[in-house]
Structure 1
Amino acid sequence: MQLAINFVKESNNIVLYIDTKGDFSAVRIQKILEAHGLSHKDMAVIMLKIRVVYIWNIEELIRLLENIKKGVLKIENLSMIIVDSLPCLMFQHFGDNNNIGLTFLNRVINYSRYLSKELQIGFIFVNIQTRWIDQDITDPEDTESACSIKDLTYNEKRTRCLGKYWKTIPALVMVLEKLKLETNSCVTIKVLVTHHINPSAVKSCFINVSAQGVI
């Protein structure tokens, strides 16, 4: 939501916010704008530039992108599309033996690439990162006490959803990890930014998010 606000705040650009979870909050947007001391008129102008569409399955997303490509759906000054989030649509096809989910995902990527190249529309896809913990048990022999001491070691593996296919799709990857909740209800988030061509080149920063948005 903060990205959408920042994108339209000082420009005539339009953001298409695709909500797949049904949790977009216009009230949240309004509170962030109020915290920055904007007038009701200025808030209304900004909020009108954030167009919200509710999508409940990936077929609907494909039709939407197709209609934008063909000009059936015309949004003047459309410069950014935010999909929040893509795994919600893909999870519906987990377990399909015919890989239909991967076929749909491929069509979404093809349309996105076309719109990015031909119409200069940027895309932000919200993804989910999973954390897997593997437990290893070692049982070294203690010669002095003639008893065994079991040491537990835990190996953490983090994996972005949408599989290996998705790994090289995004131009930039921003990984957001919530660190702690302060007493003033401010959440500290660590942000890591990587490029798929050079994953070792990592940039990082910390941001604080409160009722006023990113502060």
Structure 2
Amino acid sequence: MALLEPFGNDLTKYIIQRLNRHKISKVSEFLFANDKDLTKITNLSETTITELKRDLRKLHGVHRAQLSHIRRKIVKETKYNTGIESLDCLLGESSLFPGAVWEICGFSGTGKTQLCHTISLNLIKNYNCDTLYIDTKYDFSGIRIRQMLKSRNISKTDAGRIMQQIKVERVDTLEGVIKVLKELCVQLEIENADCKAIKFIVIDALPAIWFQHRERERMFLLSTLVNTIWKLALQYMKTFLLVNLTVYKETNLFENGLQYSQLGDTDGEVNEEALMQASVESSIVPALGRYWSSVPHLRLCIKSNEKKIEPVCKRTIAVLKNCYGPTGGNCNVSITDAGVI
């Protein structure tokens, strides 16, 4: 990609010198730099930065091979720790990165939503990453977030900023989730600054809306959802955390044709006792079928240890799938007022 040269009335030699001091000397480096960082370096407005990027893209263009190279560089240089020490130690180099797709699965009541709350909060606090939280079960709790912030002795000013950085969308259909993600794609294409600030996307949870549809509809909608997720992950480097259920293999809901209403509560949660009664063996697999099983880069399973007499807050997180490291490991965590630790 070409070196930066004076362009229009805004990209002057003086501005280019300031950019060079921050190791931004090429057009590609300018295009993929954060708008807020560029505003601080150049003292130009975000609107001006957006217009400059648009004009430079038209003038120079970016080939797919160059995009792939830049994407690999971003992934290599940017890592997000979850902020949960035992989990980060377990994953090591397999930590969150731009474009990663993670899944958290487990039975109802094991703490999947608590884990999503904690990771979202930690990413905002430690990396200033805005989060889009798509809530399909109406389980997101602002009161719980405030409790976590208070337990961590976060100031009221910082707590207010953190709360504002969690963008909650409540939808109760699979079509609704797809609509939200596609609208995000549209806004990113026109370089909406608020949408560009979103780095982390949580969908909590998929089974609650998946089982509403007949099998043929499910596959079409799931395929559309997966394509949209991959577009956001690969093209716009958004990081995903997706919530799923675990089911017993012999009574797998997508294979034996059991109705969601037979196994669920009125609030949309699958009843664990009903699953256990319908099961012959204890072989546990994630829900949503074989097609979905290949989607996440990393699959974590959170569970309570039934064999040990432990407080309710104790949980074990196991690695079921990992495209970037070993599988089979596990770590112990606790659910506290401050979140999952």
Shorter-chain TM-score bucket reads 0.7 to 0.9
Q: For structure 1, which segment, 101-110 or 8-17, has the greater mean C-alpha deviation from structure 2 after superposition?
A: 8-17
Q: Which residue of 1 aligns with 2:208?
A: 88
Match of 2:197 in 1: 77
Q: Offset of 1:201 from its aligned partner?
A: 2.5
Structure 1 match to 2:233? 116
Partner of 2:299: 173
1:107 aligns with 2:224: yes
Pick aligned residue for 1:202 from 321, 324, 328: 328
- 1:19 aligned onto 2:139: no
- Residue 173 of structure 2 is matched in structure 1 by 57
AA in 1 matched with 2:340: V
Root-mean-square deviation over aligned CA pairs = 2.2
Q: What do residues 65-103 of structure 1 show as CA deviations (whole Å, max 9, x unaligned)?
A: 11111227942311010000011110101xx25x11111
User: Is the CA contact (8 Å cut-off) linking 1:168 and 1:196 kept in structure 2?
Assistant: no
Distance 1:181 1:117, change over 3 A: same
Aligned letter for 1:9? K
- The yes-or-no answer on 1:32 pairing with 2:148 is yes
Classify 1:45/1:109 alpha carbon distance in 2 versus 1 (closer, same or farther; 3 Å): same
Query: What runs of 5+ residues in structure 1 fail to find an aligned partner?
Result: 135-153
CA shift for structure 1 position 12: 2.6
% same residue:
25
Q: Deviations over 1:41-87 (max 9, x none)?
A: 11111111111110110111111111111227942311010000011
TM-score normalised by structure 1 residue count: 0.81
d(CA) in 1 for partners of 2:179, 2:222: 13
Q: 2 CA distance for matches of 1:161 and 1:201?
A: 19
The equivalent residue for 2:126 is 10
| Structure 2 unpaired stretches of 5+ | 1-116, 252-279
Contact residue 248 and residue 281 of structure 2 kept, 8 A? no
Do the aligned partners of 2:174 and 2:209 also contact (CA within 8 Å) in 1?
yes
Greater displacement, 117-126 / 8-17: 8-17
Dislocated runs of 4+, deviation >3 Å: 131-134, 196-200
Instruction: Give the aligned partner of residue 144 of structure 1.
Output: none
The answer to which structure has the higher strand fraction is: 1
What is the CA–CA distance in structure 2 between the aligned matches of 1:8 and 1:170, rounded to whole Å? 22
More moved, 9-18 vs 110-119? 9-18
Describe the SS at the equivalent of 1:126: strand
Greater relative contact order (Cα < 8 A, sep 6+): 2
What is the TM-score normalised by the length of structure 2? Answer: 0.52
Alpha-carbon contact 1:85-1:125 (below 8 Å) kept: yes
Q: More helix by proportion, 1 or 2?
A: 2
Assess if the C-alpha contact under 8 Å between 1:14 and 1:76 holds in 2.
no
